Structure 1
Amino acid sequence: MELNHLDLINRRGIVTGAGQGIGRALALEFGQRGGHLLLVGRQLSTLTETARLVASLGGTTEILVEDLTQLGAVERIAHAVASWSSLDLLVNNAGNVRAGRLDLTADADVHSMIGLNLTAPILLTKTLLPRLRQSGKERGSILLNVSSGIALVGMPFYAVYAATKSGISQFGESLRRELIGTGVHVATVYPGATDTAMMTSQNAGSDLGWGRSSLADVITELIAALEAGAHEINTAPESRRAMQQLNITDPLAVDAALEPNLEALELAVRDHRSI
């Protein structure tokens, strides 16, 4: 697919999960490029801090405290930007994770991951797509979905999370093809394990295949790829990319490589919860 340079200057758009981690970092990137952003998240305190940081870089923001899984959340977000003259950016970043053996996973945790990681971004995109298409005709618009490296290599004890992130990946791929020629640039990013607050309760290290990248490195690579017009953006370290390639050519070899450390990995990740 031919790549076309994307202009990230003066974007007007929405960032979900903007209170911390990758969402906050992306808000800062668009903010320092003159963006006007609606910051969406669950906690006023973290959103307020993101807004302060964006303002210090020259951007402007509005804040909406919202749980995207609640009834009417998508409509409230759409209403918050209804008066804007244009909407040319949507970053579907909000997500949560609960790790552990599937048979020990609470039904509520299954519904929580599916609701926030998959259902919410699909419904939000569906609702805002007419406006993104309109802006696409004028200057081009950007839809950025944050998936995960786990969508490329399904890891044990993350079955539901992997399902949601694989789902958002295929959602993006299908929608990209649906929107060819409309001016809506659909991109999906696949971060590997990243040193953010989301990972503080996860205790697996590089010895178990969970070496972490710095947030700064992930964002630098993501923004450079987006500016270059990439649609599929993989920010995983080289060691993980080798496993991703092996998973394509010989997936059972990945099974065999993971098997000796399954018990240790379960112990290291069983308390991994982001919300």
Structure 2
Amino acid sequence: MKIEDKRVLITGGSSGIGLALAHALLSRGAKVAVTGRRPDALAHALRALQQTAPSVSSIAADLATPDGRAATIEQAVAALGGLDILVNNAGGVRAGRLETIPEAELQAMIDVNLVAPILLTQAALPALRASGDATIVNIASGIALIGAPFYATYAATKAGLGRFGEALRRELKGEGIHVLTAFPGGTDTPMMKSNRAGPDLGFAREPASAVADAIVEGIKTDAFEVIRGGEARARMIALNRDDPAAVDERFLGLKPALEEAVKDHSAL
């Protein structure tokens, strides 16, 4: 896909990967609208983005609600004059032992990470079909590929988003809409501030700009997936497929330190 002049809606665009992706796409000539739940953070992001493209627009909305999703699509299409690329990036995390996490926080992860992208995509499909050359980008997580202890529900939502994208890609094949799924590893974003795990526990971090550049390249080349983490991640994925018990043993040795490091990891 050619990026220049494409009309792009990015959810969760006020910080992290979403904001970096907005910068990357604007610098390549795309027209962008970003969404966020927090008006102050969204206004700050908009000011930064307008230094690259004064015409960029923002939409304050809660995508976990029907009204928020409807307003997002309506305002984005009006501001952009149509829609060519939908980026489902908004998400939340709450780590810890399953039995200690309040039900409301588990439900919040399910709603924002899985239900909202599915329903927003459904609402966006008429505008994407009208484009004739459209792409849906779903931002999942490396934890969707290798389940990590203390992230059971987060892993479930992101793995669900990954399979949703794969099935939808096949459903839409030949109809002018492509679907790309990104699986970032640890990324230096506000979402990770309360996570104290480092590379020794499997949480090496890269800049959000590097993830964004890889996703843009994936959009340009009509890639099916963008998986971050390099050869180390590829080896772990292969081991998890071929000898999952070995991965179980590796995590067993890390569990005490990992639980302590992520017990306060929360961004909902």
Provide TM-score, normalisation by structure 1: 0.93
**Shift in Å at residue 189 of structure 1?**
0.3
* CA offsets 1:112-157 (integer angstroms, 9 cap, x no match): 0000000001000001101101202xxx111100000001000000
* CA offsets 1:56-107 (integer angstroms, 9 cap, x no match): 2236222211111124111111221343532111100000000000011110
Once residues 81 and 219 of structure 1 are traced to their aligned partners in structure 2, the CA distance between those partners, rounded to angstroms, is 21
After the TM superposition, which residues 108-257 of structure 1 pair with which residues of structure 2 at under 5 Å, given as runs? 108-136=104-132, 140-257=133-250
Partner of 1:13: 8
CA contact (8 A) 1:192 1:237 kept: no
Once residues 120 and 24 of structure 1 are traced to their aligned partners in structure 2, the CA distance between those partners, rounded to angstroms, is 19
After the TM superposition, which residues 6-85 of structure 1 pair with which residues of structure 2 at under 5 Å, given as runs? 6-58=1-53, 60-83=55-78, 84-85=80-81
Once residues 191 and 178 of structure 2 are traced to their aligned partners in structure 1, the CA distance between those partners, rounded to angstroms, is 27
**Unpaired runs of at least 5, structure 2:** none
Aligned residues between the structures: 267
Percent of aligned positions with the same letter in both sequences?
42
Report the residue type matching 2:156 in the other structure. Answer: A
CA contact (8 A) 1:34 1:59 kept: no
CA contact (8 A) 1:36 1:59 kept: no
Once residues 214 and 77 of structure 2 are traced to their aligned partners in structure 1, the CA distance between those partners, rounded to angstroms, is 32
User: Per the alignment, in what secondary structure is the counterpart of residue 56 of structure 2?
Assistant: strand
Partner of 1:3: none
CA contact (8 A) 1:222 1:235 kept: no
User: Per the alignment, in what secondary structure is the counterpart of residue 81 of structure 1?
Assistant: helix
**Unpaired runs of at least 5, structure 1:** 1-5
**Which 4+ stretches in 1 moved above 6 angstroms?**
none
User: Per the alignment, in what secondary structure is the counterpart of residue 118 of structure 2?
Assistant: helix
Provide TM-score, normalisation by structure 2: 0.95
User: Per the alignment, in what secondary structure is the counterpart of residue 58 of structure 1?
Assistant: coil
Once residues 77 and 62 of structure 1 are traced to their aligned partners in structure 2, the CA distance between those partners, rounded to angstroms, is 11
* CA offsets 1:143-178 (integer angstroms, 9 cap, x no match): 100000001000000000000000000000000000
Report the residue type matching 2:102 in the other structure. Answer: A
